[in-house]
Structure 1
Amino acid sequence: MKIKEKAAFLLLRVMAIFPVKWNRVVFMSYDGAQYSCNPKYISEEMARSQAHLEGIWVLIKPRTEAAYKSVKPMSLAYFYYLATAKIIVTNQRLPSFYHKRKQQRYIQTWHSSLRLKKIEKDAFDFLPQSYRQKALRDSSMCDLLLSGCRTSTDIMNQAFWYDGRISEAGTPRNDVLVNEWRRKITGKQVKNKLGLSEDEQLAVIAPTFRQHGQPSLPNAEHLKRVLHQSFGGKWQTLIRLHPHIRASETAGYRRTDEIEDMQELLAAASIVITDYSSLMFDFMLTAKPLLLYTPDLDTYSQAERGFYFTFQELPFPIIRDESQLVEVLSNWSQSAYEKKRQAFLEKHVFFETGNASETIAGEIASFCKREEMSTVETI
């Protein structure tokens, strides 16, 4: 154990002199880097429907829009709340120094409803030994995993080193996409933040990070013209950048740095173009067009850790170059896409009804039933 981790472990141990508080829930998303994803939507529903529960967010930078107050990672308050929370909700593995106390519960939401690229045990040979050990230990502490579809449940059962309960209530972050009225409201808010008019249609480009090289992007102005010719209306081409993608590679696209939560951007989008990102399985729930722009499919497939699906199994058009992109958009058939989309949803038994946040907030309330805590427990 590294010196920093050892110090964190000892500090957490000291904080165990305080009892676990029966109604305290700690939320984390991407280790405190974002106010987003499943923990965000669960916390907002909990604040709305479970007022007797106390929520704490772990955030590197405080967010005024957060449902609850926040503490910074590795601060004294962070260790105190981590040690005394009844429930911990996160979308990534917990820090290696964390050890769950007997009265605590740990909900692992993960950060996708379904995924294209293989993960965890299914990508065993691509994982560092240190991560394997961390994942194995983390899974042993977990009390609940969340699944967006039956295929995702199967993947979790085989790949997560976990044999506990899996909630098949859907993915909380997708509630905003499934509920049409919420999607429209969120879409208007996003356009307002970006300084765009409500009648402008948004094409969101969301490339995946590559270990080697940068993604190829279609020409933004050309794409805008093709979209206008194919679908009518006024279009804006936006890009969602991975932190490791160079900004110089995105000439002509409108950056969306002010929109932290990807689900909000998806709610505002009229069409999405990605490559290998699992967001494809989120956005497909809106029934709006989604295309996979994959000029480097052959090389990317060889360098990656394997896929759960062949690209022929996916309901999305596979685009290999700009001329094909123009052809597909110019001849877009919504009915043909809808037929493939519905077949995919049925085959993989999606659970997305728009009520996942409410269900998990209820689970948290059940976990947080008041208990006698007269004895001081140690880690």
Structure 2
Amino acid sequence: MIPLLSIVLPVHGVERFLPDCLDSLRAETAAPGEVEIIAVDDLSPDGCGAILDRYAAGDDRLRVRHLTENLGLGGAREAGLAEAGGRWVWFVDSDDRLLDGALDAVLAELRAEEERAASGLPPADVLLTDFVHVYNDGGTEPNPWHHHLTGPELAAGCTAADHPDLLRAVMAVWNKVLRRDYLLGLGVSFGRGYYEDISVTYPALLAAGRLRFLDRPCYAYRRGRPGAITSTPSPKHADAFAQYEEIFAFLDRRPGPLRATVFERTVRQALTVYDTPGLVPSASRPDFFRRITAHIARHRPPGHLFPRGPRGLPYRLAARGARRSYDELRRTRALPRAARRGTLAVAPAVRRVVRGGARFAVYNVFRRLPLDEHLAVYAAYWHRGYACNPAAIYERARELAPQIRGVWVVETPAQAAALPPGVPYVLLNSPGYLRAMATAKYFVNNVNFPHTMGKRPGSVHLQTQHGTPLKSMGMDLKDHPIAADGMDFGRLQEAVDRWDYLVSPNPHTSEHFARAFPGRYRILETGYPRNDRLALATAEECAAVREALGIRTGQRTVLYAPTHREARGGYLPLLDLPELARRLGPGHTVLVRTHYFHTGGAGDLTAGPDAARIVDVSDHPVVEDLYLAADALVTDYSSMMFDYAVLDRPITLFAPDWDEYRAVRGVYFDLLAEPPGAVATTTGQAADALLAGDPDPQLRARFRERFCPWDDGHAAERVVREVFPSGAQATAPDRRVLTA
């Protein structure tokens, strides 16, 4: 009888995990002879061989081959495949295990495919299964690439060209059950050394006439165990380039439509290996980077372009072989800021040599220390300073959870000097920073921490974000390529998968963030902590802020705060500020706040002697000061309107390009149909609305009811009480999405 399924099990140095793996290879529904297990003892130095023989004595499905020389994981798989007689083959790693009921579920799918073939329809060539990550502390995490595998076409059966996103998922072989005759007909083999399976999995997916995804976790993949290549420093990580050559040799023999996708995927993997702390030893890093550059030159498809702007900059630097510039970009983020400024001469920003390899080695040493249960790391706006929701949470945590020590990450000594007195800090990339990032229990940020600083099991990541979304965000930008500007959605998902909590300011945000940032975090429907100050502001505080800003007594103050427009590049004031100042007259002061992506100020603000005074406050460090100082807000599509509405003061929308903005960026609701106040499309209309004072307070009341329901001045307290322990000990959170 020909088995339906052969399970090939390469075994080497996994004595501790092997019994659990073997025990998991059971099925309640399997008929006699339907499953065979071929275990290959790859000259294992421990007791694995004896364990296999003992299990084989009691399980007639299991055959053991003891190799007389070590062939490595790829060679052991080839040896097992040569002895496999099943119509389907599943390569299972012996330090992992199948989940309960998984083998029964897979066998049911394979029987259905066999029936399909018997009726004359083409069977699947590859059945992909879902999986979970398992950590040494017993914690589990769902497949972080699951979103790349969902969709009716892949569930029913399709080609890779029909669902190219599947190439962004994990390319390991262990979650793929392959039809044996199809695999043997590809003319491919597992490579030697590290990353041995991608020379099989890429071709198998690319050439398949029919792929299917079983949307059920079947496989438990062990993460972070000692000796795993994903956590082992070694020059052998360069073995990946030999596997890439095999993949592209296959594509040369069998051309297909996804060559550019494969190219991008291999470049990204190579850069990820290079970036991951400690994987590539310091002495090997220059050669590894040169091989990335050579790989790009050799296999880049004609006419291929990397993403525009900051998101494509790492790839362009790698293509040029600019390793020092690349290291500076990844470690200090200097180049992304330069690129956001529209600077052409970025070379001066990268002249400083950064010894990234040594830094990662230090970081990895610190990661061996126990988690510091009483340490929280705070950051805001890419380490720019003390601001936003993280600052409000930090202040409240000092009162309510004093056992938790907070430390701020800032980039420069000048930013450190600007911190409030007594706030502890570490400079980005300093030894103190590396230790804090490696050992802290808690992480609080309104953007994402660097992807090179991996999340440790047991740590708690609190993502606060920094605005109510009018415009499309996160994964929703897939439909808006100009606004996405080459966004790496895979990298974004990796960041989201670190989150344990996400702070929401209102039900609208909960609804849209849950979709835009899919994950297993818990949404905290608390309101924004940074708005507590606005909700509790007194007349005395507002007057003090106005005095500090130099606003004369009796002046009516208007804050103008336009948002960033991806389609228009840098700061472009559509509102004629000198004309607005002339219309408002000398009894007004106009504060101008450009978006933080823009530098260089607000331009020429000369308005004349009989006009309102115009003050550029773009560099003022605390935006809440400006809210408190302003009697009215003029904005276009900035999320500042949602925060300012907490103060219940007039808001005017200046929206001359709403249709363009909505088409380019994508929006979650029609702002002009539900505005917080008057809507203007010319400078004159904006001036008239401001001079009218508060023409329609009911508009603002409805807006506040929808977007400010939780702004009672206690949002930070709610967050702190939820996230931080009341005592000295803490446990990992229940990571699930909670929406309104």
Q: Could you say which TM-score interval applies, normalised by the shorter chain?
A: 0.7 to 0.9
Q: Are the structure 2 counterparts of residues 255 and 119 from structure 1 closer, same or farther at C-alpha, using a change threshold of 3 Å?
A: same
Alpha-carbon distance, 1:351 to partner: 1.8
Alpha-carbon distance, 1:274 to partner: 1.0
Matched, 1:247 2:598: no
Q: Are the structure 2 counterparts of residues 100 and 256 from structure 1 closer, same or farther at C-alpha, using a change threshold of 3 Å?
A: same
In 2, the alpha carbon distance for the partners of 1:98 and 1:199 equals: 51
2:720 counterpart residue number: 361
2:573 counterpart residue number: 215
1:323-356 CA distance string (max 9 Å, x none): 212332343445x22x122223334573222101
1:376 counterpart residue number: none
The 3-state SS of whatever aligns with 1:366 is coil
The 3-state SS of whatever aligns with 2:575 is coil
1:54-97 CA distance string (max 9 Å, x none): 11001122024166211111221111111111110000022111
Q: Are the structure 2 counterparts of residues 227 and 11 from structure 1 closer, same or farther at C-alpha, using a change threshold of 3 Å?
A: farther
In 1, the alpha carbon distance for the partners of 2:393 and 2:605 equals: 36
Q: Are the structure 2 counterparts of residues 294 and 9 from structure 1 closer, same or farther at C-alpha, using a change threshold of 3 Å?
A: farther
Q: Are the structure 2 counterparts of residues 195 and 131 from structure 1 closer, same or farther at C-alpha, using a change threshold of 3 Å?
A: same
Identity %: 26
Q: How many residues align?
A: 361
2:462 counterpart residue number: 107
Alpha-carbon distance, 1:120 to partner: 0.4
Matched, 1:204 2:559: yes
2:729 counterpart residue number: 370
Matched, 1:131 2:485: no
In 2, the alpha carbon distance for the partners of 1:118 and 1:19 equals: 40
Specify which of 87, 90, 110 is matched with residue 442 of structure 2.
Answer: 87
2:371 counterpart residue number: 20
The 3-state SS of whatever aligns with 2:724 is helix
Name the stretch that deviates more: 33-42 or 293-302.
293-302
2:400 counterpart residue number: 49
Q: Which amino acid letter does the alignment assign opposite residue 591 of structure 2?
A: L
The 3-state SS of whatever aligns with 1:81 is helix
Specify which of 687, 692, 703 is matched with residue 344 of structure 1.
Answer: 703
Contact preservation (8 Å) 1:115, 1:281: no
In 2, the alpha carbon distance for the partners of 1:97 and 1:9 equals: 9
1:171 counterpart residue number: 528
Alpha-carbon distance, 1:308 to partner: 0.8
Alpha-carbon distance, 1:202 to partner: 2.0
Name the stretch that deviates more: 243-252 or 264-273.
243-252
In 2, the alpha carbon distance for the partners of 1:108 and 1:251 equals: 37
Matched, 1:297 2:648: no
Q: Which amino acid letter does the alignment assign opposite residue 218 of structure 1?
A: D
Structure 1 length normalisation: TM-score?
A: 0.86
Q: Are the structure 2 counterparts of residues 362 and 110 from structure 1 closer, same or farther at C-alpha, using a change threshold of 3 Å?
A: same
Matched, 1:96 2:451: yes
Alpha-carbon distance, 1:24 to partner: 0.8
1:97-147 CA distance string (max 9 Å, x none): 1211112100000011x1211100111243366631222111111111001
In 1, the alpha carbon distance for the partners of 2:681 and 2:605 equals: 20
2:637 counterpart residue number: 276
In 2, the alpha carbon distance for the partners of 1:53 and 1:16 equals: 20
In 2, the alpha carbon distance for the partners of 1:328 and 1:239 equals: 18
1:325 counterpart residue number: 686
Q: Which amino acid letter does the alignment assign opposite residue 363 of structure 1?
A: E
Contact preservation (8 Å) 1:291, 1:319: yes
Contact preservation (8 Å) 1:25, 1:54: yes
2:617 counterpart residue number: 256
Q: Are the structure 2 counterparts of residues 11 and 28 from structure 1 closer, same or farther at C-alpha, using a change threshold of 3 Å?
A: same
Matched, 1:162 2:519: yes
Q: Which amino acid letter does the alignment assign opposite residue 12 of structure 1?
A: Y
Contact preservation (8 Å) 1:23, 1:368: no
In 2, the alpha carbon distance for the partners of 1:198 and 1:11 equals: 55
In 2, the alpha carbon distance for the partners of 1:98 and 1:309 equals: 36
1:159-216 CA distance string (max 9 Å, x none): 11223211111100111111132xx454334323323345433211111223325121
Name the stretch that deviates more: 64-73 or 142-151.
64-73
| Unmatched tracts of structure 1, length 5 or more | 229-233, 373-379
Alpha-carbon distance, 1:153 to partner: 0.5
Q: Which amino acid letter does the alignment assign opposite residue 592 of structure 2?
A: I
Contact preservation (8 Å) 1:44, 1:67: no
Q: Are the structure 2 counterparts of residues 9 and 287 from structure 1 closer, same or farther at C-alpha, using a change threshold of 3 Å?
A: same
Contact preservation (8 Å) 2:575, 2:682: no
1:199-239 CA distance string (max 9 Å, x none): 433211111223325121233464365377xxxxx421111
2:420 counterpart residue number: 65
Contact preservation (8 Å) 1:9, 1:98: no
Specify which of 674, 678, 686 is matched with residue 313 of structure 1.
Answer: 674
Q: Are the structure 2 counterparts of residues 222 and 161 from structure 1 closer, same or farther at C-alpha, using a change threshold of 3 Å?
A: closer
Name the stretch that deviates more: 129-138 or 325-334.
325-334
In 2, the alpha carbon distance for the partners of 1:203 and 1:332 equals: 11
Matched, 1:150 2:507: yes
2:471 counterpart residue number: 117
The 3-state SS of whatever aligns with 2:469 is coil
Contact preservation (8 Å) 1:107, 1:142: yes
Contact preservation (8 Å) 1:209, 1:215: no
In 2, the alpha carbon distance for the partners of 1:164 and 1:295 equals: 38
Alpha-carbon distance, 1:292 to partner: 1.3
Greater radius of gyration (CA):
2
Name the stretch that deviates more: 219-228 or 192-201.
219-228
Alpha-carbon distance, 1:16 to partner: 0.8
Q: Are the structure 2 counterparts of residues 91 and 248 from structure 1 closer, same or farther at C-alpha, using a change threshold of 3 Å?
A: closer
Aligned CA RMSD, in angstroms, stands at 2.6
In 1, the alpha carbon distance for the partners of 2:370 and 2:639 equals: 40
The 3-state SS of whatever aligns with 2:665 is coil
